[in-house]
Chains A and B, each alone.
Chain A
Amino acid sequence: MIAAIATLPLKMKRLPIAAITLLLLSCDHGLAPPPPSTFKPGFGGTVYFEKGTWPGPDSLVGLWIFASQEYPLDSVKVLQGLLSSPPKIFLYPSFTENLPFSVDSVSYSFLLPPSTYYYVGVIQQFAPELSTRSLRVVGMYGQSDVPPLPIPVVVTETDFVKGINIRVNFRKPPPQPF
């Protein structure tokens, strides 16, 4: 084949060169797994659940940590913030997964895009349909003033903020709407 190319007129020789150039253009390998050491920003800590306050299974459909770029919130804003593009409210572990039920505490690492999250807490879904009437905040990261106020969590590209601990008492949730 190489001998055949060598005998071609000059213009024709450009063709294989063009073909090889195209091939070289393809020489990156495309997608790759992220390197294990890649730093991902976010925050983490522990959620502590007051003993003896867990609700019955009928009213415990979903349970998540949320991080909101907006404060204050109401049920409609929560749903809109979850579905907006880009989203303004994020859930941990994910939209389809919950925090474990009936435990005393759970540690978490919430990976998030860099931003200021003005309202961080735990939200419960207590009815089967995800709706404005089925959500309530049951704990938040904040000052224990009366009424309690959330503390903003600032996540930068180089930060993973630790120590964001949240206490949850299902019987004494923060004032609603949230």
Chain B
Amino acid sequence: MKSFLHIALLVLWTATALGQTSSGTITGTVKDTETGQPVVGANITLRGSFIGAATDAKGKFQLLRVPVGGHSVIVSMLGYERLAIEGVIVARDQVRRLDVMIRSVPLQTEPVIITASRREQSLQEVPASVATLTARMIADRNNITIDEALRYVPGVNMLSDQVNIRGSTGYSRGVGSRVLVLLDGLPYTTGDTGEINWETIPMFEVERLEIVKGAGSALYGSSALGGVINVITREAPSIPELRFRAFSGLYDKPQYPEWDWSPKPRFTSGLLASYSGKSGSVSYLVSAGRTVDESYRENDAYHRWTLFTKLKVEISNSQSLTVSGNYVYRSHGNFFWWKDLTNATRPADGQRDGLVTSRRGNLSLAYKEFLSDKFFYTIKGIYFGNFWRDDSLGRVNNVSASHLFNLDVQATYFVNDIHVLTFGVAGNFDKVNANLFGSHPGVGAAAYAQDEIAVTGDVKLTAGLRFDWQKVSVLKATAQVNPKLGLVYLHDKETSLRMSFGSGFRYPAIGEIYIESSTNVSQVAVLPNPDLKSETSVSYEIGINRSVGNAMSVDLALFSSDFENLIEPSVQIKSYHPYPGSLVEVTGPVIQFENVTKARIQGLEAVIRVEWWKKFFSTDVGYTYTWSRDLADNTVLKFRPRHIVYTAGAFSWDEFRVSADFRYLSRIERIDENLVRLAPIVDGEQRVAIKLVDINTSYDLIGLGLPIRAGFSIKNLLNYSYVELLGNLGPVRTYFLSLEGIF
């Protein structure tokens, strides 16, 4: 511990010392060209270095320790044209003034995306459908977790905590995910079941989410069959700030008296606070939170503590080291499904006393260095630990501990005006110890490369390839090669066409291969399946993005994906040995994860955004049609809605903002009947289309001299009753009050 402190102090001292070289300062403002109003939160960076800042509430910024010489200053902000100011010369100890006007553009066209190609790109350069969610959008809607925020993205729907992008995932009983989630660019699925654990993502410290639709294994490896979601945490500001967010929600009475199980009102509330700033070349961020949700359902309450820290050391103008860590403790009632539709807010009898406690956390390191303004590399590593147990009537039922390490070394080389090369190697190590899955290690390695080729000034071609090798426990190792190809044609300044082809795969999670239940689930034996193969996908997309004037953008996409060897739990009659070492073989029904399905998902997606009346009012409409077929038996795939419609309208006037969201998901046509029958979930087949309306309002008290924003939301305004997942009634109407401040 003592030596660690010495090393840390040495790093800090070195960083501070290196920062004290010959330098000057750039200071100025960023304003909107049309309105002349200051632009808050714009990013100002020096190309090829880590020097950067964000504008404050008055649009002011300050870049410190700028090396003497000429620089390119990049100004970027969501909803504004990205601006590069070349030849900004700074002399020693000079305070260089730079006042910038930036032009607003339709939001769909200008965000900077890093997930699609593992480097910063304008959205128009990306040959795939991409959506972004910013911290502001998340706060405006009073979303508490990431999965809640994702429900507002066109083409994305959630089945409980399983995310679907254009129908890719379906529902696999909480095991495995066909969408890869990254935390700051590194895979973030659990080591045992390969699922996404949303609550461990530090929501309050998220800067934005990038959602890339379509297969992405050519860059990111396993799990990216249907898409990639990258959660990008925020950087600490240069000026110290204390931020907090307090919220309280009240669940309304359910629509019907039969469902009104609680004699007292049910609340959900939380307090999140963070302190961040910069001292010399070290920026820091510490965040803690406490959330309690009494829930609208019996035995579904949870208590959660979260802690997040991020420390970034700018070792020099071209080198940085970031260390971040996260810890979450939660205890949660075990509500798997309802008792029946008459008792939709009460759990089935066996679940009334269940409790799941979990401790999860990660520690990550990222080192980035610019060797020149044309070449940089990053070394990133993450450890993700997961420990959970579920108890019932004081008896421990299941316990799992998993440790997952991921390492990624990536380099980006701007070869010339035509080629940009991105290449790297990755590795992972996984260790699981659970009574359900046994004790097994897993190890993997990968290498990838991608070339972005500017064929002409209007045409850009992207070609990439990734090789993955995986080995789990004593099973035979397997290998995968995944290619990608993309083409973007900029027809004019307002229109871009894109085409892409990519493949994806998902290596089965240790939980899927080795799950074994000696206690039996539903009296049916659950058996391991060491013969499980990777599931694979190939996806194609063609799309067009067009801006109409300065106030409207339209994005249309046609997509098609073929899936092979989809892994699903199946119930079959088989001969098996009832327990390890048994000489007796019996023939009976067993549940096993198997490669059972070959599927095709095709569809179209339209996203239209219009800003009206000098942008005081905006509307968003997203429509996704998904035609999914199980090619094995020519039926519709389970758990996929055919239509997803998302509409939103927002009105802003000075410090006041009001918005409304409407979401529609057509009734899921096919479900897992075996799950309903064997669980059994009484009335589990009951489901309807989902039609939800939310209203959000906020008022910024900055006009009164207080750096506080007050918000009020009504979720599920019409108190509509629905299920996303079998036997799980969705949240009733909820009233939210929130206060958010920055000091």
- In the complex, are the beta carbons of B586 and A26 less than 8 A apart? no
Cβ-based interface call for A132 (8 A): yes
Contact of A133 among B586, B677, B693 (CB under 8 A): B586
- In the complex, are the beta carbons of A133 and B680 less than 8 A apart? no
Q: How far apart are the CA atoms of A60 and B139 in the complex, in Å?
A: 58
Cβ-based interface call for B188 (8 A): no
**Could you say which residues of chain A place their CB within 8 Å of the CB of B693?**
23, 26
B703-723 vs A: 1/0 string, CB under 8 Å?
A: 000000000000000111111
- In the complex, are the beta carbons of A95 and B649 less than 8 A apart? no
Indicate the member of B259, B523, B687, B688 with the most A CB atoms within 10 Å: B523
Cβ-based interface call for A83 (8 A): yes
**Could you say which residues of chain B place their CB within 8 Å of the CB of A129?**
525, 578, 586, 588
- In the complex, are the beta carbons of A79 and B589 less than 8 A apart? yes
**Could you say which residues of chain B place their CB within 8 Å of the CB of A79?**
573, 588-589
Cβ-based interface call for B673 (8 A): yes
Cβ-based interface call for A72 (8 A): no
Q: How far apart are the CA atoms of A134 and B722 in the complex, in Å?
A: 41
A29 with B342: in contact, given A12-B612, A83-B589, A96-B523 (CB under 8 Å)? no
Cβ-based interface call for A57 (8 A): no
B679-713 vs A: 1/0 string, CB under 8 Å?
A: 11001001110111100000000000000000000
Q: How far apart are the CA atoms of A76 and B574 in the complex, in Å?
A: 10
- In the complex, are the beta carbons of B255 and A87 less than 8 A apart? no
Contact of B660 among A19, A94, A95 (CB under 8 A): A19
**Could you say which residues of chain A place their CB within 8 Å of the CB of B589?**
79, 82-83, 130
**Could you say which residues of chain A place their CB within 8 Å of the CB of B344?**
31, 33
Cβ-based interface call for A2 (8 A): no
- In the complex, are the beta carbons of B720 and A33 less than 8 A apart? no
Cβ-based interface call for A56 (8 A): no
A31 with B587: in contact, given A76-B573, A95-B678, A130-B523 (CB under 8 Å)? no
Q: How far apart are the CA atoms of A131 and B587 in the complex, in Å?
A: 5
B728 to chain A minimum Cβ distance, whole angstroms, is: 11
A100 to chain B minimum Cβ distance, whole angstroms, is: 16
A24-64 vs B: 1/0 string, CB under 8 Å?
A: 01111111111000000000000000000000000000100
Residue of A whose beta carbon sits closest to that of B571:
A83
- In the complex, are the beta carbons of B647 and A85 less than 8 A apart? no
- In the complex, are the beta carbons of B722 and A33 less than 8 A apart? no
- In the complex, are the beta carbons of B691 and A26 less than 8 A apart? yes
A90-115 vs B: 1/0 string, CB under 8 Å?
A: 00001110000000000000000000
Q: How far apart are the CA atoms of A27 and B689 in the complex, in Å?
A: 12
Residue of B whose beta carbon sits closest to that of A27:
B718
**Could you say which residues of chain A place their CB within 8 Å of the CB of B37?**
none
Cβ-based interface call for B473 (8 A): no
Cβ-based interface call for B743 (8 A): no
**Could you say which residues of chain A place their CB within 8 Å of the CB of B649?**
15, 19
Residue of B whose beta carbon sits closest to that of A30:
B721
Contact of B677 among A25, A80, A95 (CB under 8 A): A95
Q: How far apart are the CA atoms of A9 and B523 in the complex, in Å?
A: 66
Q: How far apart are the CA atoms of A74 and B619 in the complex, in Å?
A: 63
**Could you say which residues of chain A place their CB within 8 Å of the CB of B158?**
none
**Could you say which residues of chain B place their CB within 8 Å of the CB of A95?**
522-523, 677-678, 680
**Could you say which residues of chain A place their CB within 8 Å of the CB of B522?**
95-96
Q: Which of B309-361 contact A (CB under 8 A)?
A: 341-342, 344
Q: How far apart are the CA atoms of A82 and B612 in the complex, in Å?
A: 59
**Could you say which residues of chain B place their CB within 8 Å of the CB of A15?**
619, 649
Contact of B256 among A32, A86, A128 (CB under 8 A): A32
Q: How far apart are the CA atoms of A86 and B719 in the complex, in Å?
A: 33
A4 to chain B minimum Cβ distance, whole angstroms, is: 9
B578-595 vs A: 1/0 string, CB under 8 Å?
A: 100000001111000000
Indicate the member of A26, A29, A33, A85 with the most B CB atoms within 10 Å: A33
**Could you say which residues of chain B place their CB within 8 Å of the CB of A23?**
662, 693, 718
Cβ-based interface call for B372 (8 A): no
What is the predominant secondary structure among interface residues of chain A facing chain B?
loop
Cβ-based interface call for A22 (8 A): yes
Cβ-based interface call for B674 (8 A): yes
A130 with B673: in contact, given A19-B660, A31-B722 (CB under 8 Å)? no
**Could you say which residues of chain A place their CB within 8 Å of the CB of B720?**
26, 29-30
- In the complex, are the beta carbons of A32 and B647 less than 8 A apart? no
Q: How far apart are the CA atoms of A89 and B589 in the complex, in Å?
A: 14
- In the complex, are the beta carbons of B586 and A25 less than 8 A apart? no
Cβ-based interface call for B729 (8 A): yes
Residue of B whose beta carbon sits closest to that of A62:
B523
Residue of A whose beta carbon sits closest to that of B572:
A83
A7 to chain B minimum Cβ distance, whole angstroms, is: 11
- In the complex, are the beta carbons of B678 and A85 less than 8 A apart? no
B496-539 vs A: 1/0 string, CB under 8 Å?
A: 00000000000000000000000000111100000000000000
A9 to chain B minimum Cβ distance, whole angstroms, is: 11
Cβ-based interface call for B86 (8 A): no
A116 to chain B minimum Cβ distance, whole angstroms, is: 21
Cβ-based interface call for B258 (8 A): yes
- In the complex, are the beta carbons of A31 and B525 less than 8 A apart? no
A2-26 vs B: 1/0 string, CB under 8 Å?
A: 0000000000100100010011011
Q: How far apart are the CA atoms of A76 and B586 in the complex, in Å?
A: 12
- In the complex, are the beta carbons of B523 and A34 less than 8 A apart? no
B228-247 vs A: 1/0 string, CB under 8 Å?
A: 00000000000000000000
A33 with B342: in contact, given A95-B678, A129-B525 (CB under 8 Å)? yes
**Could you say which residues of chain A place their CB within 8 Å of the CB of B255?**
29-30, 32
A84 to chain B minimum Cβ distance, whole angstroms, is: 10
Residue of A whose beta carbon sits closest to that of B672:
A85
**Could you say which residues of chain B place their CB within 8 Å of the CB of A28?**
691
- In the complex, are the beta carbons of B680 and A94 less than 8 A apart? yes
- In the complex, are the beta carbons of A83 and B718 less than 8 A apart? no
A86 to chain B minimum Cβ distance, whole angstroms, is: 7
- In the complex, are the beta carbons of B719 and A33 less than 8 A apart? no
A30 with B523: in contact, given A22-B647, A132-B587 (CB under 8 Å)? no
Q: How far apart are the CA atoms of A120 and B14 in the complex, in Å?
A: 84
**Could you say which residues of chain B place their CB within 8 Å of the CB of A128?**
578
Question: Would you list 28 pairs from A and B whose C-beta atoms are within 8 A, ordered by A residue?
Answer: A15-B619, A22-B647, A22-B662, A26-B691, A26-B718, A27-B718, A30-B255, A30-B690, A30-B722, A31-B341, A31-B688, A33-B259, A34-B683, A76-B587, A83-B573, A85-B673, A86-B673, A95-B522, A95-B523, A95-B678, A96-B679, A129-B586, A130-B525, A132-B573, A132-B588, A133-B587, A134-B586, A134-B588
Q: 20 more A-B contacts (CB under 8 A) besides A30-B690, A31-B723, A33-B341? A: A12-B612, A23-B662, A29-B255, A29-B719, A31-B721, A31-B729, A32-B256, A32-B721, A33-B259, A33-B342, A34-B342, A83-B571, A95-B523, A96-B678, A130-B525, A130-B588, A130-B589, A131-B588, A132-B573, A132-B587
Q: Which 6 A-B pairs have the closest CB atoms?
A: A131-B588, A131-B586, A26-B691, A30-B721, A31-B721, A132-B587
